[in-house]
Amino acid sequence: MSLRTRRTWSLLGLLTAPSAFLLCFFLCPLVLMLIYSFLTPGLYGGVEWEFFHLNYGRILGWADTKYERFDPVFLIIFLRSLRLAALTVLTCLVISYPAAFWISRMPPARRNFALFLVTLPFFVSLIVRLFAWVLILRPTGFLNQGLMGVGLTSEPLEFLYTDFAVVVGMTYVFIPFTFLPLYASIEKLDTAQIEASFDLGATRVQTFGKVILPATLPGIAAGAVITFIPALGNFIVPSVLGGAKVVMIGNLIEQQFLSARNWPFGSALAMLVMAAVLVLLIVQLRLARRQDVP
Amino acid sequence: MYRAMIGPGHSACPGSSSESTLMPAPLEITAASKSFRTPEGGTITALDDVSFGLDGAEFVTLLGPSGCGKTTLLRTISGFEALDHGTIRLEGQDVTDWPSHKRPVNTVFQSYALFTHMPVSRNVGYALEIAGADKATIRRRVGEMLELVGLAGLENRRISQLSGGQKQRVALARALAGRPKLLLLDEPLSALDKNLRQKMQHELKSLQRELGIGFIFVTHDQGEALTMSDRIAVLAHGRIQQLGTPQALYRRPANLFTADFLGDSNLIPLVVAEGRGILPDGQSFTLNGAPRAGTLMLRPEDLTRTRRGEAGLTFKGVVAARYYSGKDFQIELDCPGTGRLLAVLRDDGAVPDTGAELTLHSATDALHVIEEVQP
Ligand SMILES: Nc1ncnc2c1ncn2[C@@H]1O[C@H](COP(=O)(O)OP(=O)(O)O)[C@@H](O)[C@H]1O
Ligand SMILES: [Mg+2]
């Protein structure tokens, strides 16, 4: 066997297992969902194998039959999810950027410890961590007691079951997702380039805008996308911290599959989220490519 | 290869010393000290009471072994390191406490430090962009600068598409575009191969003459320092060992370190008695001045096979090694009493081979005594 065919074979061998895995557990369910979203919901759950477009009609506006009507609430929930996910990304970035900068300039031993601390929350169950936030945010919780203790407020404020609580919770859950890609690109930042900028007359602010930010833009984009996607579809945080008041698209999908047992409609909602994510990825790719071309 | 580029803002007559005596010195450092704390808790003295300056549009080289404080000295001038003690003046103005972006000084960094996310044109135009110049002015200046460094037409290249030599030139163009009063260059040629390095040495030198501004050039390569400089400052252990023209440093080094660091030399211990220096083998010669002890320095090329004049020293020995270097031979001569001497003899077809006896002479005017005793 020549070296070349040997290479081809070993490549094939290495790729078979992951490809099969992705095919079975990612692509097939996805195609199944896509098909389901165009099928008629069965009367008692399940599906009937008959083409049906009103699943989308109920969300996007053209359904007006007796059983299947358009309801703007789905779009409202979807838009709210987009907004809350975007807010989460923003808060994560604002917190992670200076932190990543600071950690990347630490001496190595302390830096590794700090990085370990960033990933520490992963070692504790998500549900436990979220209920801790319930304890903090509820009317008799630490936050309200603290605010009243200092005298800033006279009676408990509604924090729990608000957009605020959901954004706080999602920021808390997803911050390592933003932090790590951001850190990777900030750590690579060439200190000499920053000095060169000062040397050529730039102030700190100018240096940040013209050198540091553009050089770390790939990390910002990667961190934002990798946070936005799971935040958009998340249903655990809004169900614990948003309750019935702050419903996100993830809760709706979960509901359709588990309690309403309308799988085709749930699939249609899921496809909507997929579409949003795809658009986002295409925009990001475009941006990344434009950065590559001088 | 550089085209003349004398714009407004540059003094049009470089090297006219009558002008520079009227103007304040471009750079004046007085009693500068700087020490660093090491992670282990100790301190390193990187600069120890350094006083140093430029008298006019000079090409001054900081020469010294790695770790002697050259980069630190440059960084205190550009404002990246604050001095512990001492003052820095630029054109008479005390800038010791100024942040680096306010100092009219630009640097060519050892690693070039080009902005990798910008094309060549924005790199070169950066100082003007920061200063708020309009687009047309920037474009014109960038074109001028790229032509000056021989990269005309490369405006739109990405940094990653440049060779090492081209990056070097872009870094140079970028540092010069803002018309600095003084250019600092930190070992800019060390990453280039030998041919390119030699070419750049000549270009940098003529560029400095053309622009008529001071260059402070850092290197650990003594050949480079001798070729390029108007004056050389030899640094060791954070101190300036000697400051002077290349010829002065080479012919009359003030101490053993400079003698040893610049070129090859034979260092022979002397005993001083009655105004004469006595060599270990008993020869002696008249001393100028009255040192109490000292070391005789003889450059290898000052040892000849024929005697010039009556007085002088003679060394008789056996050739221990002979190396051919093209136009001449390097000889190691074992002399009883004196030790091993290094000599450079022209290849005239009669240079004795290893094992042969050889007598070498040196004229009186080639003898230089350093008032320092070898440990
Ligand atoms: N930021 C720093 N922290 C600690 N020590 C430093 C720092 N910068 C330089 N030094 C030390 O100061 C001395 C001089 O360094 P440097 O000026 O870089 O030397 P050179 O450029 O001549 O090689 C060295 O011993 C170096 O280890
Ligand atoms: Mg250095």
Residues A211-229 have pLDDT tens digits of 999 999 989 999 999 999 9
Residue B195 lies in a domain: yes
- pLDDT at site B312: 84
How are beta strands B266-273 and B339-346 bridged, if at all?
unpaired
Choose one of B251, B286, B310: the last residue of a domain.
B251
Angle at A79 between CA A30 and CA A33, to 5 degrees: 15
Chain A residue closest in CA terms to B126: A200
Q: Cβ contacts of residue B309 below 8 Å, gap of 6+?
A: B363, B364
Cα separation, A170 vs A87, in Å, equals 10
Structural domain total, chain B: 2
Strand, coil or helix: what is B5? coil
Atom of ligand 1 nearest to the CA of B70: 22
Residue B99 shares a structural domain with residue B208: yes
Helix segments in chain A, DSSP class H: 3-22, 28-36, 54-60, 72-104, 108-119, 126-137, 142-150, 163-187, 191-199, 204-207, 213-233, 236-237, 249-258, 263-292
For ligand 1, whether the C-beta of B69 sits within 6 Å is yes
Residue B212 shares a structural domain with residue B311: no
Residue B52 lies in a domain: yes
Q: Does A198 lie at the interface with B, CB-CB under 8 angstroms?
A: yes
Token pair for residue A162? 């608000």
Phi and psi based region of residue A243 (left: phi greater than 0; alpha: psi -120 to 50; beta: remaining): left
> Does residue B100 contact residue B82 with C-beta atoms inside 8 Å?
no
Helix segments in A50-71, DSSP class H: 54-60
- pLDDT at site A2: 81
Q: Does A294 lie at the interface with B, CB-CB under 8 angstroms?
A: yes
Q: Which of A33-37, A65-69, A163-167, A174-178 has the lowest mean pLDDT?
A: A65-69
Tens of pLDDT, residue by residue over A86-109, are 999 999 999 999 999 999 999 999
Residue B169 shares a structural domain with residue B288: no
- pLDDT at site B22: 64
Contact A201 B131 (CB under 8 A): yes
Q: How far is the CA of B110 from the centre of ligand 2 (A)?
A: 8
Q: How far is the CA of B69 from the centre of ligand 1 (A)?
A: 6
> Does residue A242 contact residue A248 with C-beta atoms inside 8 Å?
yes
Q: Report the interhelical angle of A163-187 vs A72-104 (nearest 10°).
A: 40
Residue B97 shares a structural domain with residue B222: yes
ipTM: 0.84
Q: Whose CA is nearest to atom 18 of ligand 1?
A: B71
CATH number of domain containing B286:
2.40.50.100
Q: What is the CATH number of domain A75-260?
A: 1.10.3720.10
> Does residue B327 contact residue B351 with C-beta atoms inside 8 Å?
no
Q: Which residues pair with B105 in a beta bridge?
A: B182
How are beta strands B85-90 and B231-236 bridged, if at all?
unpaired
Strand, coil or helix: what is B28? strand
For ligand 1, whether the C-beta of B44 sits within 6 Å is yes
Residue B203 shares a structural domain with residue B335: no
Choose one of B202, B221, B251: the last residue of a domain.
B251
Q: How far is the CA of B235 from the centre of ligand 1 (A)?
A: 13
Angle at B170 between CA B148 and CA B202, to 5 degrees: 55
Residue B290 lies in a domain: yes
For ligand 1, whether the C-beta of B219 sits within 6 Å is no
CA dihedral A204, A206, A209, A213 (to 10 degrees): -40
Residue with token string 């440093």 = B249
Q: pTM for this structure?
A: 0.82
CATH number of domain containing B73:
3.40.50.300
> Does residue B118 contact residue B134 with C-beta atoms inside 8 Å?
no
Tens of pLDDT, residue by residue over B221-278, are 999 999 999 999 999 999 999 999 999 999 999 999 999 999 999 999 999 888 889 9
Residue B238 shares a structural domain with residue B301: no
Q: Does A48 lie at the interface with B, CB-CB under 8 angstroms?
A: no
Res. A197: pLDDT tops 80:
yes
> Does residue B166 contact residue B151 with C-beta atoms inside 8 Å?
yes
Contact A199 B106 (CB under 8 A): yes
Residue with token string 């199944």 = A32
Contact A107 B115 (CB under 8 A): no
Cα separation, B120 vs B142, in Å, equals 9
Residues in chain B, pLDDT under 50: 1-20
Q: Which domain holds residue B189?
A: 17-251
Residue B229 shares a structural domain with residue B286: no
Q: Cβ contacts of residue A173 below 8 Å, gap of 6+?
A: A121, A126, A129, A130, A234, A237
Tens of pLDDT, residue by residue over B277-327, are 999 998 989 888 777 788 999 999 999 998 877 678 999 999 999 999 888
Residue B287 shares a structural domain with residue B224: no
Q: Which residues in chain B have their CB less than 8 angstroms from residue A294's CB?
A: 119, 156-158
Cα separation, B117 vs B68, in Å, equals 34
Domain boundaries, chain A: 75-260
Q: How far is the CA of B108 from the centre of ligand 1 (A)?
A: 18
Residue type, A152: L
- pLDDT at site A292: 55
Residue B292 shares a structural domain with residue B333: yes
Residue with token string 């060992």 = B241
Residue B317 shares a structural domain with residue B229: no
- pLDDT at site B332: 95
Q: How many residues does chain A have?
A: 294
CA dihedral B82, B88, B94, B99 (to 10 degrees): -30
Chain A residue closest in CA terms to B127: A200
